[in-house]
């Protein structure tokens, strides 16, 4: 199956199944993957259900999920692979916070060609396919018209945990400090998928995520791009799977934001 309309329908159905389980289930046993980084039984269950559905619907397409063994090499030119985060925002979910999502992308080459994000506790679904625009609950969305950082809401990614967290967080703290001086408000939502979806929708004006894991970013990056947002690495290069960081911004503040990032943490 190579028809993007059909594949988007498959992806939306897969995410809907994951969201139904996320909405109605308890976390189950919570296991530490590393220092302050957790996986729940439900993460694994959602991944298994979505993977099985995709294997039946698109047996020719490889799959990679965050929570178990993988069979796809992400980013191979001319080869499609599904990339799934079964619960983006696991810590939020464990603590009963509604900012969590199921995020699924179809990736080829250096990025996603379609992406779907479902946030079941907020009754939100975002989706996009390359060249066809971005949508929330079936309606087109656009990035905001912000033209100055002083009037912008900017979200940032989580502070680092695990090995090397102290070093990694120096740049995150520097970024937070620099943004706090310039922007209207700084926010931390704890879900990269929601960071990117909300830039796409114009709820926020930008997000700066000092990481780039494909299961976290791929769907949201495409949705943000298709909404008209500027999506780059922190050095201003176009975003790809190989990017070090992920920056999405309303076009009117992109240059100003990238300059601030360069001054505070480097590019």
- Asked whether residue 40 carries a pLDDT value surpassing 90, the answer given is no
Q: 80 or 265, which is more confident?
A: 80
Q: Cα separation of 16 and 23, whole Å?
A: 10
pLDDT for 196 equals 98
**Count of C-beta atoms within a 10 Å radius of residue 259:** 13
- Give the 3-state DSSP-derived string for the chain, with helices as H, strands as E and coil as C: CCCHHHHHHHHHHHHHHHHHHHHHCCCCCEEEEECCEEEEHHHHHHHHHHHHHHHHHCCCCEEEECCCCCCCCCCCCCCCEEEEEEEECHHHHHCCCCCCEEEEEEEECCEEEEEEEEEHHHCEEEEEECCCCEEECCEECCCCCCCCHHHCEEEECCCCCCCCHHHHHHHHHHHHHHHHHHCCEEECCCCHHHHHHHHHHCCCCEEEECCCCHHHHHHHHHHHHHCCCEEECCCCCECCCCCCCEEEECHHHHHHHHHHHHHHHCC
Mean of the per-residue pLDDT values of the chain: 92
Q: Which residue shows structure tokens 């980084």? A: 37
Q: What is the pLDDT of residues 180-233, one digit of tens each?
A: 999 999 999 999 999 999 999 999 999 999 989 999 999 999 999 999 999 999
Whether the model clears a pTM of 0.75, i.e. scores above it, the answer is yes
Mean pLDDT of 50-74: 83
pLDDT for 38 equals 72
Q: What is the pLDDT of residues 96-149, one digit of tens each?
A: 999 999 999 999 999 999 999 999 999 999 999 999 999 999 999 999 999 999
pLDDT for 141 equals 98
**Listed range (33-47, 112-126, 154-168, 212-226) with the worst mean pLDDT:** 33-47
Report residue 70's pLDDT band, with 50, 70 and 90 as the boundaries: low
First and final CA of the chain: distance in angstroms?
39
Q: 185 or 166, which is more confident?
A: 185
Which residues are within 8 A (CB) of 236 and not within 5 positions of it... i.e. 6 or more apart? Answer: 258, 267
pLDDT for 76 equals 57
Q: List the domains of the chain with CATH numbers.
A: 4-140 (3.30.540.10), 149-265 (3.40.190.80)
Strand 111-119 relative to strand 101-108, pairing: antiparallel
């Amino acid at each position: 199956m190579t028809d993007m309309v059909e594949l988007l329908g498959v992806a939306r159905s897969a995410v809907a199944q994951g969201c139904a389980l996320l909405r109605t289930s308890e976390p189950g046993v919570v296991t530490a993957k590393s220092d302050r980084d957790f996986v729940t039984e439900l993460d694994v269950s959602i991944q298994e259900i979505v993977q099985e559905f995709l294997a039946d619907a698109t047996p020719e397409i490889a799959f990679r999920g965050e929570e178990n063994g993988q069979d796809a090499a992400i980013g191979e030119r001319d080869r499609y692979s599904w990339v799934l985060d079964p619960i983006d925002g696991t810590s939020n979910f464990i603590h009963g916070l509604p900012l969590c999502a199921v995020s699924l992308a179809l990736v080829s080459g250096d990025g996603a060609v379609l992406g779907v994000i479902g946030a079941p506790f907020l009754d939100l679904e975002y989706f996009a396919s390359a060249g066809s625009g971005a949508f929330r609950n079936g309606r087109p969305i656009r990035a905001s018209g912000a033209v100055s950082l002083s009037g912008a809401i900017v979200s940032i990614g989580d502070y680092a945990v695990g090995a090397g967290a102290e070093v990694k967080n120096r740049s995150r703290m520097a970024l937070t400090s620099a943004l706090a001086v310039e922007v209207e408000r700084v926010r931390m939502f704890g879900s990269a998928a929601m960071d990117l979806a909300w830039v796409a929708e114009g709820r926020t004006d930008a997000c700066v995520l000092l990481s780039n894991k494909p299961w976290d970013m791929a769907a949201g990056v495409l949705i943000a791009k298709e909404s008209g947002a500027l999506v780059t690495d922190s050095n201003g290069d176009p975003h790809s799977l190989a990017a070090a960081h992920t920056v999405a911004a309303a076009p009117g503040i992109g240059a100003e934001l990238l300059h601030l990032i360069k001054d505070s943490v480097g590019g």
